[in-house]
């Protein structure tokens, strides 16, 4: 839509800015995955603290020394108002390990695949690479994990079970090609046998990948 405004005989055209809103995408950082899988949450806490602090946008004005105004004495009979005592705000709580660690030893990721296929969707390859980096982190070194594929209940039981297995194996292959030792990864397919707690088996949120630490 374009708004037109005529002022003093001049035609001014003001284009409106249209923004396309996409649905939320749950992408986890390397630090967050490491925190969930190993309990090493120091890096994740630092990342959250940096993100929450944000840039310092305060304005500062430096007045030259010679430009300061001279103090003017108060008028006779004038009494200055009493200064108010500012309320002391409580200190902000620090981010602790317990506040950033949801389920120790388990991380649920939104890694999508092509419809009816075990091919990782191009938009999800970045998250898969972040997972690979997390599994190669020092705190995860030497630990073994189950790579579990889950589906919703749309379609037959056997079809979804086989599809979830192929998707788990495809993700394991991606991780191996990214430098994660094959011996540390165990692919498993569960079909729609293990829906997200509290959700119907038909819910789209059940189409997920879960990484679970074995030892």
Superfamily per CATH, domain 30-42+99-213: OmpA-like domain (3.30.1330.60)
Higher local confidence (pLDDT), 86 or 98? 86
For all residues of the chain together, what is the average pLDDT? 78
Task: Indicate the pTM of the whole model.
Answer: 0.64
Please list, in sequence order, all residues whose beta carbon lies within 8 angstroms of the beta carbon of residue 12, skipping any fewer than 6 positions away: 4, 5, 6
The arithmetic mean of pLDDT across residues 73-87, rounded, is 62
CA distance 114 to 196: 21
Residues 153-202: tens digit of each pLDDT: 999 999 999 999 999 999 999 999 999 999 999 999 999 999 999 999 99
Tell me the domain boundaries of the chain.
30-42+99-213
Task: Give kind and range of the element (H or E) at residue 107.
Answer: strand 106-109
Q: What is the residue-wise DSSP string for 124-149?
A: GHHHHHHHHHHHTSGGGTT--EEEEE
- Compute the radius of gyration of the chain from its Cα atoms: 28
Going by C-alpha positions, the residue among 187, 186, 192 that lies closest to residue 161 is 192
Going by C-alpha positions, the residue among 31, 40, 29 that lies closest to residue 139 is 40
Per-residue confidence band for 101, with pLDDT thresholds at 50, 70 and 90: very low
């Amino acid at each position: 839509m374009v708004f037109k405004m005529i002022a003093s005989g001049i035609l001014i055209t003001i284009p409106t800015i249209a923004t396309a809103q996409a649905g939320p995408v749950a992408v986890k950082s390397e630090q967050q995955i490491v925190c969930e899988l190993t309990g090493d949450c120091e890096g994740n806490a630092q990342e959250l603290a940096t993100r929450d602090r944000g840039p310092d946008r305060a304005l500062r004005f430096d007045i030259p020394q010679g430009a300061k105004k001279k103090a003017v004495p108060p008028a006779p009979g004038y009494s200055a108002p009493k200064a108010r005592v500012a309320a002391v705000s409580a200190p902000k709580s620090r981010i602790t390990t317990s506040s950033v660690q949801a389920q120790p030893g388990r991380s649920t990721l939104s890694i999508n695949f092509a419809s009816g296929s075990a091919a990782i969707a191009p938009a999800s390859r970045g998250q898969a690479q972040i997972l690979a980096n997390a599994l190669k982190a020092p705190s995860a070194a030497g630990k073994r994990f189950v790579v579990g594929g889950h589906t919703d209940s749309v379609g037959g039981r056997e079809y979804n079970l086989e599809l979830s297995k192929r998707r788990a194996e495809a993700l394991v292959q991606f991780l191996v090609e990214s430098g994660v030792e094959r011996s540390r990864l165990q692919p498993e397919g569960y079909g729609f046998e293990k829906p997200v707690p509290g959700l119907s088996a038909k819910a789209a949120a059940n189409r997920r990948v879960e990484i679970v630490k074995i030892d």
